[in-house]
Structure 1
Amino acid sequence: MAGRIRKDDIEALKQRADIASVIADHTDLKKAGTRLKGLCPFHTEKTPSFTVDPVKGYYHCFGCGEGGDVYSFLMGVGGLDFTEAVEQLARRTGFELHYEDLSPGQRRALGERSRFVEINQRALDFFHERLLSDEGEVARTYLRDRGFGREEAEAFSLGYAPNDWERLSRALVSEGYDRRDLVRIGLAVDNKRGGLRDRFRGRLIFPVLDASGDPIGFGGRVLPGLDYGDFDPPKYYNSPETPLYRKQKVLYGIAESRAGMASTGEVLVCEGYTDVLALHQSGITNAVATCGTAVGAEHFRVLARYVNRVVLAFDADEAGVKAAERAATEAAAVDDEARTGSSSERFQVRVLGLEEGSDPADLVQRDGPVALREALTAAEPVTGFLVDAELDRADLSSDEGRATALRAAVRRLGDEPDPELRRVWARTRIADRLGVSTQWVARTAQRVGVTLDREDGVAAGVGLARRGGGQRGRLTATPPPEAALQRRVLRVALQEPDWLPEEWWELTGDDFTHPRARSIHDALTAAGGAGVPLEEVLAAAPDDDVRALVRAVALEVADPPDTPESAAGEVRALRERALVARVAELDERVRTVNASTDPEAFRALNAERFELEQQRRALRTARD
């Protein structure tokens, strides 16, 4: 969308929104003084380090460094871009947004999307109501037989499409929805006699939501025990390509899995709707599924917004190998586009090796969720899976077959971005398996253009830079006394500026000797000094790292709590240290001046030193 949301609307919406309520959807928050604390939704932790200031409208995690306002929270936890975050918050609060620079066609498209989402939501409600009614017993029976109950039906908004040709179409048209819209979004088809026929009939319905939770399409499964007449319907049936539903980008369960993905940094990609339900039921809440298509580049682009590790569930048969080959190629193509971030953490694609005909849900049902978690931890990089596959499919009974397998395996090895793994696998996966020396593998690699040396850096392969990696927002892990004092003074300046004594205004940037403390002071000064709104200080910060530092200090909880008296003492102590440093500097200069040849300079330096000493003694008296 080329049009921009009006800045006034963005600010007004943020002021209206309750950041604590938004964040509470993703983690439990408890009162901690004037702030709220909880477990961080962005990383796994046992002790709460995630702090929310509902008055200032900001959050900060003192464990991983993530922080920001309500928009950055929605972007981080939901993998949304800024516009999507604003629009999602507007829908949540019922706020009407206005757009600038929209062409007439773009305005129609914007209204069209909202209209299509509304129709899909109404269809979702219709299907869900039918599932819970008497006529939905056939679908509920199927769910019970698969081990699912009311909880899963509610969590995933499951539904039932009556075994009727036009029940949904009649209901939606009677409510005033345009017949043409029903066809465009795949809920109905034109029966060529001027009427409509429901696309989904006699099926268990799986609503497909986008990352922000909007319904964009549906999947349906036929049900045992229903009479479909002479028609032999396919077992599964999905929405067609529509303005909302693009199967190359759609992932079932992504809205329901956002919190699980954010907390683990990992996602398990399955094949079926019920696989996702079974895994979530067992506590594996970071599982999604493709909707009737192989995982591809667009899927990886979506997932890279949430996680840095994708685990694919593939059989170790030929079909599974081909799927893994395609996935590796698609992910490598996306890598070229995404390797522009500052983080060195790479996007890993791994394979969960399964017995033929088995899936992750089978593993959970047979051995329990702990076994699946252990299997996920042990999932191997896709390159290693493919190296093994090259050797598994080769004829190793002949010298010619082993030579061919060696060359094929080494070429696969060249796709691994980690040089250490390449070196290890050259021995463990190839040399040991083929009964040749590691040196022979290395020579073969050289002949086919693959480098195994650790100095090689990063080879072409699967590697996406994850957005927002690393830890930010800390002055220092174990601050020296000077840095700790400077942090405490800056905390008062950001949190309780009315407590600052007059000596605060005598401090300069040079008095904040720790680089990160200096960067916070510079941002505060650029914004206009202590007492300006935190929003203005953040706007004056030069980059995201400094903004994270400012938020961390602004939301830090003092232990013991700051008081007006302690605040004044801290500022005066910092000012005294600055004066001591200045006196020491003057002493050095006095020693370089000859009192006989340059008496004026000598007197000026001593007069300045005397004045600074007087100020220092006055500060000491005030502190005592």
Structure 2
Amino acid sequence: MPFYSDDLIEEVRSRNDIVDVISNYVRLQKRGSTYFGLCPFHNEKTASFSVTPGKQMYYCFGCGAGGNVFTFLMEYENFTFAEAMQALAERAGVELPVQEYSPQMKREADRRQRLLEVNKEAGKYYYMLLRSEHGTQALDYFKKRGLSEETMRKFGLGYSDKFSDDLYHYLRNKGYEDELLKDSGLISYDERRGGHDKFWNRAMFPIMDVHNKIIGFGGRVMGEGEPKYLNSPETRIFDKSRNLYGLNFARTTKKPQLLLCEGYMDVIALHQAGFDNAVASLGTALTSGHANLLKRYTREVYLTYDSDGAGVKAALRAIPILKEVGIVTKVINMRPYKDPDEFIKALGAEAYEERIAQAENSFMFEIRMLEQNYDMNDPEGKTAFYNEVAQKLLGFTEDLERDNYIEAVAGKYQIGFENLRKLVLHLGTKGGITAKKPPLKSGIHENKKKENGMKQSQKLLLTWLIEDTRLFPVIGTYITPSDFTEEVYGRVAKILYEQFEETKTVNPAKIISMFESEEDQREIASLFNAHIHNIETRADMEKALKETVVRIKKNSIDHRSANLAPTDMAGLQQLVADKRQLEQLEKMHISIE
């Protein structure tokens, strides 16, 4: 990572108001001095995501995500710190100095940059070939699929020539060496043929990351040949499980959901028809990496997979993966047509819009597919189906949500609500209806560990100090940074006390930038957002403050006593003095004026 001075980092941070930046991603509403919205990092129905202008920080009281404007871009956009720094510097009009990398990091950065250059050159060459006499067959193919020139240009569509070393010689003449071309995944090598193209005689689909950089390609063979579709192999810049085709366009959609397709042509056809929220996985089944990527940009995904058996299986595989990260999922019915492309050609965009409005709840879709495995005209088959449905209903651990789904299933399948509910409860009693949900594998911080009282006390005091700097002279008499026994808390307290001593102000957002690990940054954000809800008057605050200070001081004394070396006479004398001070403190009244 390039090195930037603390002053430059602070300049960039201070010139990017956190409310302005986050408002581009989250709809915020002001409540008092704080803004609230639905958290973009976990699924919630009640806004617990707060953005505080005074602190220049965000914090979610639901999942614990928090930090400053750098942290937000790193979490939301999956940026490195350097990428977040560059994006925010550009936004604020701050010119960053050219940075020195370590030799190894410079080599890696240069390698990635050159791979992107190779892909860009290949994309330009394929684009040009499509519009030459060599690309006639591929151009006819795209036109027969109903694509306009504007759409072909938007997606950068191209053609790889029928000569299997055409791109190789073109890139070599551009000065790119064999080793780099091999790493790009565009060129293969063997002893007999030497360098030859991965793609030839194919209609080409550039694959772009969310920043519109070409990271790979997909190609459809022209005429006979296998495989029909071919994708770039994984490289240093191309990870199939962490990228989605079309997301570079769909990420800015104003529509409330993303449409998840199976293929490139479906995405392109939907975009051309006005559905700029369509994406597809890259020739692979949906993964948790895809689901986490989708979660950054939407709360709802509508599956618009092929309506054949393979498409149904893919949808049934995708639903639990999306549910695991908290994405609400629905399924679009395109029958009697196979895919979105066919549907729109036959019935048009308005009819497809109607199908979106009629999209089926993913659980009800799963039940409908399950029904096909049973003979519903046979009492035994029907009973087995109801038992299977009841077992699936146990997956809803919240009573209200489970009852709502029981009601929906009972209404659709003509079974009494109470009968189905009793069956669910009966199976739940045997299997443990109140069993805990397995932890999410999404990387989202859903499971906050229950904190002990001392950690919470230290958090509260740090929060109070930044929210009311008048407390420093009051608190400083009794509590020093060394009294914060949690290691990170002590480091933060030291910086906070130094800030106040130097400037009589505090800058919590700047403190976050001083810590490198995301875990530390998140923990610090929580330090500055601790609250107790039963404080209404100044007397309440003074009482809570005294109790907190006493608790922290006593804990500090106990902690040092347990770790004091027998020969440490100075430490022993300090302990004696602190114990006397604690006795006096317990008898005093702390006043806030």
TM bucket (normalised to shorter chain) is 0.5 to 0.7
Tell me what 1:437 maps to: 416
Stretch moving more, 167-176 or 406-415: 406-415
Matches within 5 A, 1:222-621: 222-223=221-222, 232-260=225-253, 263-264=254-255, 266-315=257-306, 318-331=309-322, 335=324, 346-355=326-335, 357-369=337-349, 371-416=351-396, 419-429=399-409, 431-449=410-428, 527-528=499-500, 536=510, 544=525
Distance 2:143 2:14 in 1: 39
- How big is the shift at 1:218? 0.3
**Equivalent position amino acid for 1:257 in 2:** A
Question: In percent, how many aligned pairs have the same letter?
Answer: 27
**Equivalent position amino acid for 1:267 in 2:** L
- How big is the shift at 1:394? 1.3
CA contact (8 A) 2:307 2:338 kept: no
2:92 is aligned with 1:112? no
CA offset digits 1:204-238 (Å, max 9, x no partner): 21111223333221001234xxxx6xx63433221
Which 5+ residue runs of structure 1 have no aligned equivalent? 24-34, 51-55, 61-65, 339-345, 469-489, 494-503, 511-522, 549-577, 579-624
**Secondary structure, in 3 states, of the residue corresponding to 2:240?**
coil
Residues 43 and 452 of structure 1, relative CA distance in 2, 3 Å threshold? farther
Tell me what 1:568 maps to: none
Tell me what 2:545 maps to: none
Residues 74 and 192 of structure 1, relative CA distance in 2, 3 Å threshold? same
CA contact (8 A) 1:296 1:326 kept: no
2:130 is aligned with 1:155? no
CA contact (8 A) 1:268 1:287 kept: yes
2:35 is aligned with 1:42? no
**Secondary structure, in 3 states, of the residue corresponding to 2:164?**
coil
Distance 1:220 1:537 in 2: 49
- How big is the shift at 1:254? 1.9
**Secondary structure, in 3 states, of the residue corresponding to 2:280?**
strand
**Secondary structure, in 3 states, of the residue corresponding to 1:314?**
coil
**Equivalent position amino acid for 2:304 in 1:** A
CA contact (8 A) 1:44 1:264 kept: no
Tell me what 2:165 maps to: 166
Distance 1:193 1:94 in 2: 49
CA offset digits 1:533-557 (Å, max 9, x no partner): 8965987999658999xxxxxxxxx
Distance 2:286 2:373 in 1: 23
**Secondary structure, in 3 states, of the residue corresponding to 2:205?**
strand
CA offset digits 1:423-466 (Å, max 9, x no partner): 1332332x34544322322232234337999x969856999697
**Equivalent position amino acid for 2:238 in 1:** Y
Tell me what 1:141 maps to: 140
Distance 1:123 1:242 in 2: 15
CA offset digits 1:277-306 (Å, max 9, x no partner): 222223322221112222122221222233
**Secondary structure, in 3 states, of the residue corresponding to 1:409?**
helix
- How big is the shift at 1:409? 1.5
**Secondary structure, in 3 states, of the residue corresponding to 2:251?**
helix
Q: Normalization by structure 2: what TM-score?
A: 0.62
**Secondary structure, in 3 states, of the residue corresponding to 1:243?**
coil
Residues 193 and 461 of structure 1, relative CA distance in 2, 3 Å threshold? same
- How big is the shift at 1:311? 2.2
Which 5+ residue runs of structure 2 have no aligned equivalent? 30-34, 37-53, 59-64, 447-465, 476-494, 515-520, 530-537, 539-593
Stretch moving more, 363-372 or 304-313: 363-372
**Equivalent position amino acid for 1:310 in 2:** V
Tell me what 1:8 maps to: 4
Residues 84 and 302 of structure 1, relative CA distance in 2, 3 Å threshold? farther
CA contact (8 A) 2:3 2:100 kept: no
CA contact (8 A) 2:262 2:305 kept: no
CA contact (8 A) 2:57 2:509 kept: no
CA contact (8 A) 2:138 2:159 kept: yes
- How big is the shift at 1:405? 0.7
**Equivalent position amino acid for 1:215 in 2:** I
Distance 1:67 1:397 in 2: 55
Distance 2:328 2:335 in 1: 22
How many residue pairs are counted as aligned between the two chains?
467
CA contact (8 A) 1:200 1:220 kept: yes
Residues 379 and 135 of structure 1, relative CA distance in 2, 3 Å threshold? same
**Equivalent position amino acid for 2:261 in 1:** C
**Secondary structure, in 3 states, of the residue corresponding to 2:159?**
strand
CA contact (8 A) 2:334 2:355 kept: no
Tell me what 2:195 maps to: 196
Residues 467 and 254 of structure 1, relative CA distance in 2, 3 Å threshold? farther
CA offset digits 1:395-445 (Å, max 9, x no partner): 01111101111111122222346643431332332x345443223222322
- How big is the shift at 1:507? 13
2:170 is aligned with 1:179? no
- How big is the shift at 1:81? 5.1
**Equivalent position amino acid for 2:427 in 1:** V
Residues 506 and 438 of structure 1, relative CA distance in 2, 3 Å threshold? closer
**Secondary structure, in 3 states, of the residue corresponding to 2:120?**
helix
